[in-house]
Amino acid sequence: MPVYSKKVKILRPLAMVALVVSVVFVCCQSPRTSQDTFLMAEERWTLGPFVKVDSANPVLTAGGLTFFCPILKEEVAWEAKDVFNPAAIVKDGEINLLFRAEDLIGKNNGTSRIGLATSKDGYSFEKLPHPVFFPENDSLKHLEWDGGVEDPRVVATEDGRYIMTYTSYDGQTARLMYALSDDLVSWKKYGRVLTGEYKDTWSKAGAIVAAQEGDNIVAKKINGKYWMYFGDTDLFLATSENLTDWQPVVKEGKLHPVLTPRPGKFDSRLVEPGPFGLVREEGILLLYNGMNLDEGGDPLLVPGAYSAGQALFSLDDPSKLIGRAANYFLTPEKDYEISGQVNHVCFIEGMVPYRGHWYLYYGTADSKIAVAVAKVN
């Protein structure tokens, strides 16, 4: 893909003073059940509290940028409908957001493409005028058109490149895919994460296990392998020796679930990974998304609400759950989180350490992008 250097400024106020605004770390609303008794005390390992930065949010919204679509062979307002669900990484001292953007013309509720925006403070972003990742007339067109490419997640590799997982959608089946880049702008598509008998299995949301190195997040091997959490009902695992050939973890002939929904909780309907699995002293910390059931979920949340939780997996065995926060730490409260393309959604997908804080970027009501901030421990 061509490299685009011109940027369009999206002005937002400086907002570090906003750390005094609404704390979104939420205490338990109900006692632990017997299934929680084996888990580590969550205050020892959870990140937070995260604070929504009200004076800056939403930090990114839809706009009027256009580009020439190689498939339609015409100019398309590629981010006119919505921008949401971003990945984040620090490069050259700036926060880079790879964000999902939808047009108004795709028959699957708009075609999704991935744009790039950068910031020197985490709040004011400049968009590149063209998407950096999109369906083309290539070998993957039949998997990506015209639903598009969705929901990126990104980490650095140990050799200085970037690996992005994303979802392709052909209008019928979502498939977990991946691509590699040297600069976050020009990408090489590698196709499906799941191959063989699972190649056409509905799959999404690949969160690679990685470690913090300064302000960078770098994929790391555990027990000689790279690991990836994925899924959007139960969570599963895949492993790789080289980041390009992935194998799902299978037990008794089936994908092996490592995290599942919980009755009566905010995550009673489904669970889906957040940004990445973070290697820490206590274990692998996975921030994740949970959806509330219409009936039988958290009675204090509206049916269908998306909130965010935290889980901890063993460093010795990344499939072994050793900690799970009893309740969410981020939930829809603001007007832009409650009302939009899909109501009542806070969907976390991008997080970076930057200048002594964690910046957590999330999609709001599948329409805009916001940020919440916590101190780095």
pLDDT in tens, 72-129: 999 999 999 999 999 999 999 999 999 999 999 989 889 999 999 999 999 999 999 9
For 176-201, write each residue's pLDDT tens digit.
999 999 999 999 999 999 999 999 99
Q: Is residue 48 part of a domain?
A: yes
**What was the pLDDT predicted at 3?**
36
* pLDDT tens figures, 351-364: 999 999 999 999 99
What pLDDT shows up at residue 43? 65
What's the pLDDT score for residue 185? 98
Give the tokens for residue 123: 């709040």
Q: Which residues contact 353 (CB under 8 A, 6 or more apart)?
A: 90, 212, 214, 215, 217, 359, 376
Q: What is the CA radius of gyration of the chain?
A: 19
- Residue 240: inside a domain: yes
- Spatial separation of the C-alpha atoms in residues 283 and 44, rounded to whole Å: 11
**DSSP sequence for 26-86:** ---SS---GGGTTSPPGGGT-----EE-TTT-S-B------EEETTTTEEE-TTSSEEEEE
User: d(Cα 31, Cα 294) in Å, to the nearest integer?
Assistant: 21
Number of domains the chain contains: 1
Confidence at residue 42, expressed as pLDDT on a 0 to 100 scale: 58
> Which of 216, 253, 174 has its CA nearest to residue 90?
216
What pLDDT score does 31 carry?
35
- 104 lies in some domain: yes
What does the pLDDT average to over 291-310? 96
Which tens digit of pLDDT belongs to each residue from 120-148? 999 999 999 999 999 999 999 999 999 99
3-state secondary structure of 122: coil
Pick the more confident residue, 7 or 144: 144
Indicate the pTM of the whole model.
Answer: 0.90
pLDDT tens-place string over residues 18-63: 443 343 333 333 333 333 434 455 568 999 999 999 999 999 999 9
Cα 138 from Cα 10, distance rounded (Å): 32
pLDDT > 90 fraction of the chain, expressed in percent and rounded? 86
Q: Say yes or no to pLDDT of 234 above 50.
A: yes
Flag whether 1 is in a domain: no
160 vs 125: CA distance, rounded Å:
24
State the CATH number of the domain containing residue 71. 2.115.10.20
The strand pairing partners of 354, in sequence order, are 357
The DSSP secondary structure of 179-239, one letter per residue, reads EEESSSSSEEEEEESS-GGGTTS-----EEEEEEETTEEEE--BTTBEEEEE-SSSBEEEE
| Residue 7 within any structural domain of the chain | no
Residue 37 is predicted with a pLDDT of 35
Domain of 181 in residue numbering reads as 19-375
8 domain residue, yes or no: no
Q: Is residue 12 part of a domain?
A: no
What's the pLDDT score for residue 146?
Answer: 94
How far apart, in whole angstroms, are the C-alpha atoms of residue 330 and residue 202?
27
What distances in angstroms separate CA 109 from CA 14, 51, 81, 112, one per listed residue?
34, 32, 9, 9
